[in-house]
Amino acid sequence: MVDWNMTELKHILKAEQFTDIKELDRLFGLADELRAADEKGQVPQSLAGKIVATLFFEPSTRTRLSFEAAALKLGAQVISTENAREALSANKGETLQDTIKIVNGYADIIVLRHYEKGGAEIAAEVSEIPVINAGDGAGEHPTQALGDVYTLQKELGRVAGLKIALVGDLLYGRTVHSLLPILGLYKDVTVYLVSPPQLRFPKEYTKTRIVLKEFDNVEEILPEVDVLYVTRIQKERFASEQEYQNLKGSYVINGENLKKLKKEAIVMHPLPRVDEISSEIDSDPRAAYFRQAQNGLYLRMALLSEILK
């Protein structure tokens, strides 16, 4: 594992690299400053002259566009491919390592999404410029987790003491794999793991001081939680269409569910959603998922500024 310190240029590969709440608070504070500057049209062009390469071997909307928007707002230029698995020379048999070595000559930082778990770590081993893991198969998605914790701070004013339900595909859902280690930095957090038996949270990500409680039924925990964090069933990770169809729609959050949820609770989702959150609740003030996506932009602006300053 590559340790990461906000005073040095390092790769961002796993959530467990983040071990200091004060460093996170400083990062979140910078995100707030950049948000305020953006609202005034006065974002500092601190990355002018830098080039950010976004290499996405799997489809992405929010992560790729938010990283690219973050870079452009800070004055950097972007070189990008949204379908690298087919569009780059990987389609001709080129290794990931060779691709990374080539891009090292073109850019100052690489934002990488790869279909293989551990793909970002493979890239970092041969890269002389920073690599940010923007999702590695069913592995991790650390910048999403940072944005999620930033959202908790903005929406609820705290992370310590929260009761958080993670609902849906906990086996393949890389966003929740990264979220748990960061939540574990805070005191008295309780996490309810709600999933079908076939999609339980992997044991390798549950090494934490958080109190974990496992459930099949989401209904029974709704009145207790402060945060309902819903994830989609990861269709692209299943070996067969039938296996996916058997589990699709295991949990659907709708208006009836929200009646059982605390008035001050929030509903989060890393998006995209399929059928697991009904659009009827989009107008409810507790539906925080679109604000969550916007928060991800400013969190990534803060990360890029820190790494490339």
Catalytic residues, by residue number, are 62-63, 92, 113, 141
Q: How far, in Å, CA of 136 to CA of 117, rounded?
A: 5
Residues 6+ apart with CB under 8 A from 206: 180, 212
Closest CA to 76 of 102, 35, 47, 97: 47
- Torsion on CA atoms 19, 12, 4, 211, rounded to nearest 10: 10
Cα angle at 172 between 169 and 176, to 5 degrees? 70
Token code pair at residue 82: 């949204």
**Half-sphere exposure (Cβ direction) of 112: Cα atoms closer than 13 Å:** 34
Q: How far, in Å, CA of 4 to CA of 305, rounded?
A: 15
Helix ranges restricted to H, the chain? 21-39, 62-73, 84-87, 96-104, 119-126, 142-156, 174-183, 241-247, 255-260, 289-308
Q: How far, in Å, CA of 213 to CA of 19, rounded?
A: 23
Q: How far, in Å, CA of 113 to CA of 141, rounded?
A: 9
Question: What residues are paired with 229 via a beta bridge?
Answer: 166, 268
Cβ atoms of residues 247 and 216 within 8 Å? no
